[in-house]
Chain A
Amino acid sequence: MFLTLTTTGTPERPATDLGYLLHKHPDKAQAFSTSYGTAHVVYPEADDQRCTAALLLEVDAVALVRRGKGKGRGGAPDAALAQYVNDRPYAASSLLAVALSSVFSSAMKGTCHARPELPAEPRPLRVEVPALPARGGAELVRRLFEPLGWAVAVEPVALDSEFPEWGDSRYVRLVLESQALTVAEALRHLYVLLPVLDDAKHYWVAPDEVDKLLRAGEGWLAEHPEQKLITSRYLSRRWSLTRQAMERLELVRLAEADDSEVEEIDNAVGAETEEEQRPTPLAVQRRDAIIEALQASGATRVLDLGCGQGQLVQALLKDPQFTQITGVDVSMRALTIASRRLKLDRMGERQASRVTLFQGSLAYTDKRLKGYDAAVLSEVIEHLDLPRLPALEYAVFGAARPRTVLVTTPNVEYNVRWESLPAGHVRHGDHRFEWTREEFRAWADAVAERHGYGVRFVPVGPDDPEVGPPTQMAVFEIDQAGPKNEKEAKAA
């Protein structure tokens, strides 16, 4: 990983003053050992007109891995493959920011004993980062640096010139130019913004991270229009560390066994779930519609099948009508988050006795699901491949057989009304299908017929005269007399 810092000058204000500012002599190659490898500072050019300092961090990738906790069984490091082969030796990630702060610490503080007046003087500066990981793309890079007085040039880097169809990589080549900033300011900008642009996978953590941010951001961060994003991304690395520790690596390994990206498999819970998101109006309307239907059904023992992060469970807890609320999800991660959201460990005994969360799967029958008054399948069926739907149908309507079953699913016809949704796209990456009203009704009617339920349909959200509501809900009620009762038989 590599970056250069260039300044220009005149015989009166020579460019080589950069050597004083950085506390590094221009005619020497100097090496500094940092926690992740050796940092080198050399000057490819150094005269009165132009002086460039280059910082090169030689990451010791093997040592970096071995540093990790080697707690895996058989002495094998318990870590994901991505820890071994990655861009850290090359890209200007957070590690480079660490090196920057340790090699140029005085410069960052703006102290220079030999020439105390120098640090405060703005100079013409040019920063080049040839391989900068930029989550958020060129657009965000501009939004981050331009308000600070930089002229920004960003060029995307192609993933692989032999496979142009793969498109651009997440790296950009960044050139920043300014006449009005000091070296210290430039370094502090880089120190904060390199990790912000990095994809947050390569974190480091220290308890005083907030202090570091405040110090480095002094004088510019408070006024920055993207202050919120900068702060949350910079500090999010700390959260992601805690999350990483808590996360189960089992899914990571299964993804790797299959040469898949972890996100392809471990995606039951969105990435942004850690912070309390504001629910969309539609999610609220959906929840209200479900609760209303449950209240009307007279159910007291309720199953939330595919409970996700437990939002519905939490809402149901507020109504004493529901004496037993059971959330079931196949994702252990979702259940962990749900349990945290509900504060199950701190809940009073009486309240806690109303809630149960456990891992389950609707691809299998499950005796624990028997004996409930009602089951909710809210935005669940569309996450199953169509050929697996009969298994869910049997598990719920055939085996568990609650009196009432509520099923909600997107109405694909409504998608044309979503402004942000490109035509022909589903609403969520993991949706295996989205149904029209007619398709949903056909399925629901057939299920009801096969299992002895009656079914009616309730629109959720604004019922558009042309395309219907955004969410469709089916309310199944069990046929009290049994699937095919005697009376019917006699009538027939």
Chain B
Amino acid sequence: MTETQHSTRSEGRVLPVTDLSLVVLVGASGSGKSTFARRHFKPTEVISSDFCRGLVSDDENDQSATRDAFDVLHYIAGKRLAAGRRTVVDATSVQSDARRQLIDLARQYDVLPIAIVLDVPEEVCAERNAARTDRAEMPRRVIQRHIRELRRSIRHLEREGFRKVHILRGVEDIESATVTTERRFNDLTHLTGPFDIVGDIHGCAAELESLLGKLGYSDGVHPEGRTAVFVGDLVDRGPDSPGVLRRVMSMVKSGNALCVPGNHENKYGRYLKGRKVQHTHGLAETIEQMAGESEEFTREVREFIDGLVSHYVLDGGRLVVCHAGLPEKYHGRTSGRVRSHALYGDTTGETDEFGLPVRYPWAEDYRGRAAVVYGHTPVPAATWLNNTICLDTGAVFGGRLTALRWPERELVDVPAEQVWYEPARPLRTEAPGGQDGRPLDLNDVHGRRAVETRHQGRVAVREENAAAALEVMSRFAVDPRLLPYLPPTMAPTATSKVDGYLEHPVEAFAQYAADGVARVVCEEKHMGSRAVALVCRDAEVARERFGADGPTGSLYTRTGRPFFDDEAVTEEILGRVRTAVGEAGLWDELGTDWLLLDAELMPWSLKASGLLRSQYAAVGAASGAVFPGALGALQAAAARGVEVTDLLARQRERASNAAAFTDAYRRYCWTTEGLDGVRLAPFQILAVQGRSLTGLPHDEQLALLDRVVEHDVSGLLQTTRRLYVDTGDPESVRAGVDWWLEMTGRGGEGMVVKPVGALVRGKEGRLVQPGIKCRGREYLRIIYGPEYTRPDNLTRLRSRFLNHKRSLAIREYALGLEALDRLAEGEPLWRVHEAVFGVLALESEPVDPRL
């Protein structure tokens, strides 16, 4: 028991209470628990059984509601502890059974249970209760029983499982005590390094010295003040465990290093304490090597091992270091099982063909924001998996000794000087498929979610939209590994006031001018189908970087469906792009071996043929069939002298509108044979290795892409025509309008106006629309119907609502940028997929489909 039992000094006792713990106040009714709790803890930290009794029964003293009240108390306490908040339970807790439930709760959430006992004489309790109207009726024997039970319990509290026990005897002792909050030992979030985290050493002292030298340490000290962090397993198997211990212990002692225990230290530590342990798995070597060391050193080793903390949370919570890996819910927690997981990892209960336990792949399930750096499992090479990395590259087995520079995330390693110990099994990658996050989990996408984006904060996805996206993603989309991006929807320009037009560029230029964007680029719309192409330099790159075995990339639509059923056709197109990119010299120039292209694939009829036939051509066929007869009938009636002049004129106009409609869709259809007639017009390079290019100005983007098109000898690639406009210069704006009029006058679909600076923020720091579409007058027939240009129709159609579409466009844009940033930064697949899935889900939000 702690010192607090001993007699008090006049200034009162200081009770240390860990910042994340379950504090159980123990005392009879009337002993002053609530007052004590109020004085020393935040009101929200304290849950009282009386309050919970009131919640379930409207009467704080209704003893028949006790069972339900404690259910509620445990529930609230559980929620708080799960969220990492200290919780104080204000109930008598004089019975061991009641305390056991609270200890179980603390263990369930891996926090320290702490008891504070208020031992107050019976008379005082009785007096206090008598002064309270609601408790005046309480029989004296209840208090007597409480005190009896309390006295009986006091000696057993530590054995019951409380990790700290503070006992305050008498009113004075209670009045004068103060509570001080202590950090957990594993909480080193205030240390920001930079760190060099070193993998399992296993007595390879020479390799450790080489690695420290390579990292820039000189005699255990880094000139730039970096801190080494050892993930444990310093000892056993290798040639010089004492040497490793000496180096590490001196660095830790001098404040140049941190160290967490490995299972091998743990076992050696038990050996040093005289426990009976098997001298297997290389322990015999350590014992033998230590035999030559002084008793003094052996004692220091014992104390060092004894004082190791199972894991550390570092760098503001961004980094967790431990020996065998740790799921997020254990970060910064303190319990036996947290320590056990940190030391040994998790096992499935099975054993493999070498008789070794099969490890549960906890890292596959890992979704935490903190990077977990660990060792324990020898792997051929250190690779990131869901923001975790194992640094045990089997130095003692003749592999390498590896370190990770943090926050740089750079790997530094040295080869083993020899095979010091034969491995029980060959080194192998543990994750099935060996690829980053291969089994995506439904929890990463399902239900209502909020995706955190760098550019637009949290973007919410509603449940019904996620459900629709799940169906399309699962049934139709390409492999998520090859689907790192989906393009956002784009808002049209504000409705035009120009006579005869629903959309006109003047409004688009004006909107950007208002947003403070001086220079825009007008890019022609190709009236194909939106296509995203992931082009890898070869199949090896696709395998290495994207984990896809076979294809060299992907070519998919705006909902992630493959463009072509035949993989060979996709490969042919990717091959042509690849060749052109290579000829243009972009692989080296951009320092990448893959790139992600945003493009338009023509003709429209290639993919949309079903829709064309069922919807557009059908309208054309019906109108083409009906008007000759109708016009003929009206002409005949007119010839008979029936007054149908207006009706006839109107039908003639409708017939010509319908013919214009047919002409409009026909322009975007042509027959293709194999890849003959298929064209691809890339207009943006979205990302390359290590970089999102969404911030690269469009003029530079287009210049790069022009070179790719130029070097394409296959005839597949096509440039995007463009015109730069200064939104503040009326002359330039007029030129832009003329350009659009000329283009759409010839049947063009229209254009997209974009800020030249690509990723631009407006005056209030909010993202501006990445593009605004201005669709041609004739093209809009196929959207608004053949007769939309009739003045009365136009008048009515002008009342359209753009705000929701604009907001949707920005949210999808932010998600798309997020996906690319996550991709570029090498974040886990589930993180990239989360954002991509979000775009697809938002696409199913209700919005006027004509916009």
A: residues with CB less than 8 A from B are 1-2, 4, 27-29, 40, 42-46, 52, 54, 56, 58, 61-63, 66, 72-82, 84-87, 89-91, 128, 130-131, 133, 157-160, 162-163, 165-166, 169-171, 173, 248-251, 253-254, 256-261, 264-265, 268, 330-332, 359-368, 383-385, 387-388, 390-391, 394-395, 398-399, 482-486, 488-489, 492
Is there an interface contact between A85 and B615, defined as CB atoms closer than 8 Å? yes
The answer on a CB contact under 8 Å between B350 and A482 is yes
Contact of A159 among B440, B557, B618, B783 (CB under 8 A): B618
With a cutoff of 8 Å between Cβ atoms, the chain B residues found around residue A79 in the complex are: 849
B25 at the interface (CB under 8 A from A): no
A84 to B469, CA, bound (A): 24
Task: Answer yes or no: B676 CB below 8 A from chain A CBs.
Answer: no
| Pair A169/B846 contact, Cβ less than 8 Å | no
Residues of A within 8 A of B621 (CB): 131, 157-160, 169, 171
A-B contact count (CB 8 A): 307
- Are B804 and A265 within 8 A (Cβ)? no
A361 contacts B474, CB within 8 Å?
A: yes
Given contacts A44-B637, A84-B783, A253-B846, contact A130 B628 (CB under 8 A): yes
In the bound assembly, the distance between CA atoms of A58 and B557 in angstroms comes to 38
A166/B617 contact (C-beta < 8 A), A250-B464, A394-B432 known: yes
B793 within 8 A of A: yes
Bound-complex Cα distance A76 to B608 (A): 25
Return chain B residues, CB-CB under 8 Å to A488. 353
Q: How far is the CB of A250 from chain B (nearest CB, A)?
A: 3
B641 CB–A CB distance under 8 Å: yes
A-B contact pairs, 15 of them (CB 8 A): A1-B626, A44-B640, A74-B805, A80-B849, A90-B626, A159-B613, A166-B613, A250-B468, A250-B844, A332-B468, A359-B470, A361-B474, A387-B479, A387-B550, A395-B439
Closest to A450 in B: B432
Residues B442 and A54 in contact, CB atoms below 8 Å apart: no
Assuming the A-B contacts A58-B650, A253-B845, are A489 and B354 also in contact, with contact meaning beta carbons closer than 8 angstroms in the complex? yes
Asked if residues B849 and A486 are in contact (CB atoms below 8 Å), the reply is: no
Tell me whether A251 and B644 are in contact in the complex, defined as CB-CB below 8 angstroms, given that A72-B847, A160-B617 are known contacts. no
B604 / chain A contacts, CB cutoff of 8 Å: 259
Residues A91 and B476 in contact in the complex (CB < 8 Å), given A62-B796, A253-B846, A258-B561? no
Q: Are A42 and B611 in contact (CB under 8 A)?
A: no
Q: Is A251's CB under 8 angstroms from B468's CB?
A: yes
Contacts of B843 in A (CB 8 A): 253-254, 257
Residue pair A66, B796 in contact (C-beta under 8 Å): yes
- Whole-angstrom distance from the CB of B551 to the nearest CB of chain A? 8
Q: Name B350's contact: one of A27, A261, A365, A483 (CB within 8 Å).
A: A483
Q: A90-B658, A157-B625, A332-B467 are in contact. Are A253 and B608 (CB under 8 A)?
A: no
Q: Which parts of B782-838 form the interface with A (CB within 8 Å)?
A: 782-788, 793, 796-797, 800-805
**Cβ distance A159 to chain B, nearest Cβ, rounded Å:** 4
Contacts of B439 in A (CB 8 A): 364-365, 391, 394-395, 398-399
A239 to chain B, nearest CB (A): 22
Residues of A close to B442: CB separation below 8 A: 360-361, 364-368
Using A44-B634, A74-B803, A130-B628 as known contacts, say yes or no to A89 and B671 having CB atoms under 8 A apart.
no
Docked-complex contact B471 and A330, CB < 8 angstroms: yes
Choose from B355, B468, B630, B802 the contact partner of A2 (Cβ within 8 Å): B630
A73 to B662, CA, bound (A): 32
3 shortest A-B CB distances, which residue pairs?
A74-B804, A250-B468, A76-B848
Residues of A within 8 A of B630 (CB): 2, 54, 56, 130
Do B629 and A260 touch across chains, with their CB atoms under 8 A apart? no
Contact of A265 among B470, B472, B622, B625 (CB under 8 A): B472
A279 to B251, CA, bound (A): 76
List residues of chain B with CB within 8 A of the CB of A40: 647
Cβ contact of A42, chosen from B351, B613, B614, B634, cutoff 8 A: B634
In the assembled complex, the Cα of A85 lies from the Cα of B783 at a distance in Å of 7
- Rounded to whole Å, the gap between the CB of A56 and the closest CB of chain B is 6
- B386, CB-defined interface residue at 8 Å: no
Residues of A within 8 A of B636 (CB): 44-45
In the docked arrangement, what's the CA distance between A470 and B361, Å? 40
Residue ID in chain B nearest A173 by CB atoms: B625
A130–B630 Cα gap in the complex (Å)?
9
Which residues of B sit under 8 angstroms from A395, Cβ to Cβ? 439
Is A73 in contact with B796, judged by CB distance below 8 angstroms?
no
Q: B623 at interface (Cβ–Cβ under 8 A)? A: yes
Q: In the complex, A398 Cα to B433 Cα: how many Å?
A: 11
Task: Specify which chain A residues have a CB less than 8 angstroms from the CB of B797 in the assembled complex.
Answer: 62
Q: Is there a chain A Cβ closer than 8 Å to B632's Cβ?
A: yes
Contact between chains at A90 and B642 (CB < 8 Å) = no
Q: Are A264 and B610 in contact (CB under 8 A)?
A: yes
A160-B621, A257-B489 are known contacts. Are A265 and B615 too (CB-CB below 8 A)? no
Complex CA distance for A363 and B830, rounded to whole angstroms: 13
Q: Is the CB of B610 within 8 A of A29?
A: no
B572 at the interface (CB under 8 A from A): no
B620 on the A face (CB < 8 A): yes
Contact flag A259-B611 (CB < 8 Å), given A76-B801, A163-B671, A169-B622: yes
Interface string of B522-566 (1 = CB under 8 A from A): 000000010000000000000000000011000001110110000
B222 interface hit (Cβ, 8 Å): no
The CA of A485 and the CA of B2, in the complex, are separated in Å by 50
Q: Which residue of B lies closest to A334 (CB)?
A: B471
Instruction: Tell me the bound Cα distance from A399 to B438 in angstroms.
Output: 12
A407–B169 Cα gap in the complex (Å)?
A: 70
- Contact of B642 with A171 in the complex, beta carbons under 8 Å: no
B-side contacts of A359, CB under 8 Å: 446, 467, 470
In the docked arrangement, what's the CA distance between A264 and B613, Å? Answer: 13
| Known contacts A4-B633, A253-B843; is-contact A484 B352 (Cβ 8 Å) | yes
Chain A residues whose CB sits within 8 angstroms of the CB of B662 once the complex forms: 160
Instruction: Give per-residue flags for B646-683: 1 if the beta carbon is below 8 A from chain A beta carbons, else 0.
Output: 01001100100010001000100101000000000000
Of chain B, the residue at the smallest CB distance from A77 is B848
A268–B445 CA distance with the chains assembled, in angstroms: 21
Q: Apart from A250-B469, A253-B843, what are 14 other A-B pairs with CB-CB below 8 Å?
A: A2-B633, A42-B634, A85-B616, A85-B785, A130-B625, A131-B622, A158-B621, A160-B666, A163-B669, A248-B464, A259-B529, A384-B475, A394-B439, A492-B353
B599 CB, nearest partner CB in chain A, Å: 15
Query: Contact at B617–A159, with CB atoms within 8 Å?
Result: yes
